[in-house]
A and B are shown apart, each in its own frame.
Chain A
């Protein structure tokens, strides 16, 4: 069974600080996605990474796919209150018939 573990489960920091959240697995994934879910809404895709070692940037957010394609990280620089939300990673592979395997999420709160 493929599993994705996210850490930390919960993070509360002050506006302006930097942070990194992680998505780890013992399985290899063909692609990995990060979604953000705001309170009262459904998850929205932020990025998809498909190549080992790939780094993608979305304004102050930097996403990295591990070289072995078993893990990923999301780094936020100078966090803003608008970054508050639940960050979910989801991976796909041929083993799961490309059905998305979801992590349990990191709940992030940025205090003004």
Chain B
């Protein structure tokens, strides 16, 4: 059973296009996250949702818009894609928001390449 799943795994698209990445977790967790991992492997938090509400919104362009239809899903829509958006995007979930030693469970990542 896949705990945190993302689709698609690979996404190649042209600059200026709009695309979405979907994420689902079957762990019954209350909190979900989107991370961006750049070519240097640095993992940067983008968004955090707790019980479908936005908790953390780091400084990301407003071309990125997360949507959480329910606790088990957190999708990421990106408008007007730019070359610099090329990266691996990870979805993750945890039982609750923060707290000492809260484990985050990661999806397999979506490799986005903008041409």
**Residues of A near any B CB (own CB < 8 A):** 30-31, 33, 37, 40-45, 48, 50, 86, 88, 92, 97-100, 102, 104-105, 107
Contact = CB atoms under 8 A, between A and B. Distances in A.
B25 to A, nearest CB: 12
A43 B105 CA distance: 8
Q: Is the interface of B mostly helix, strand, loop or mixed?
A: loop
17 contacts: A31-B101, A33-B103, A41-B109, A42-B106, A43-B90, A43-B106, A45-B103, A45-B104, A50-B100, A92-B98, A92-B99, A99-B45, A102-B43, A102-B44, A102-B45, A104-B42, A105-B42
Interface residues of B, number: 24
B97 interface: yes
B20 to A, nearest CB: 19
Contacts of B101: 31, 33, 48, 50, 92
B102 interface: yes
A72 to B, nearest CB: 13
A97 B103 contact: no
B103 A86 contact: no
Contacts of A104: 40-42
Given A86-B41, A104-B42, A98 B98 contact: yes
Closest 8 CB pairs of A and B: A98-B98, A42-B106, A48-B101, A31-B101, A31-B100, A102-B43, A104-B42, A45-B103
